[in-house]
Amino acid sequence: MMSNNQTTAVSPHALPALPYADDALSPVISANTIGFHYGKHHKTYVDNLNKLIAGTEYADLPLAKIITATAGAADKTAIFNNAAQTWNHTFYWQSLRPNGGGEPPAGLKQKIEASFGTVDACRKELATAAMAQFGSGWTWLVLDGDKLKVVKTGNADVPLTAGKKPLLTIDVWEHAYYLDYQNRRLDYVNAVLDKLINWNFAAENLG
């Protein structure tokens, strides 16, 4: 089972099972994309992380601890990047589900309306942030204090390191959409928001 907050110390780190079949998100995200994205990209981050931390002070730390301990350290960039990308991808797979989209659960919906006005305004802000991220990165719905916010991060960066609690994420690296959408990032993001976004997961993270 995949742990939502990935706080359990496990060494070596394992590639968590996908929470659905590799064709379950099709046609929004094809099995071909999942094959490369999960089977190659995500797996490589996990494998690289295990190689980099073997025999170091990080070997027995939970993933989230490795991320916060190496964030911003110039000589620990490779460990940070691979740890954060391991965490981010596991979080991303959980942020999607077959037959997702639609209305968030009541508690989350209320919180979204308090922070953004409407669910549609929140979705639009997520799409705008996804388009505004120059190059590789991530778009997030986070809890910041008692408000929900949309933030974007570049490359492997994760809002955990800024004290924000991630509720859901959309991967906007080209490898997330290029096989299915080529350069049309907005089409990918809108399709994810309409058909796959897992509001239930965000509600669980909100607590």
The residues binding Mn ion (CB under 5 A) are: 171, 173
Closer residue to Mn ion (CB): 173 or 188 = 173
Cβ nearer to Mn ion, comparing 70 with 85: 85
Query: SS3 for the chain, per residue?
Result: CCCCCCCCCCCCCCCCCCCCCCCCCCCCCCHHHHHHHHHHHHHHHHHHHHHHHCCCCCCCCCHHHHHHHHCCCHHHHHHHHHHHHHHHHHHHHHHECCCCCCCCCHHHHHHHHHHHCCHHHHHHHHHHHHHHCCCCEEEEEEEECCEEEEEEEECCCCHHHHCCEEEEEEECCHHHCHHHHCCCHHHHHHHHHHHCECHHHHHHHHC
Task: Write down the least CB distance from residue 173 to Mn ion, Å.
Answer: 5
CB of 185 to Mn ion, least distance (A): 13
Q: Which residue number is nearest to Mn ion in terms of Cβ?
A: 171
- Comparison of 41 and 76: residue with beta carbon closer to Mn ion: 41
Query: Of 42 and 149, which has the nearer Cβ to Mn ion?
Result: 42
- The least distance separating Mn ion from the CB of residue 138, rounded to whole angstroms, comes to 8
CB of 145 to Mn ion, least distance (A): 28
CB of 153 to Mn ion, least distance (A): 13
Q: Rank residues 125 and 171 by Cβ distance to Mn ion and give the closer one.
A: 171
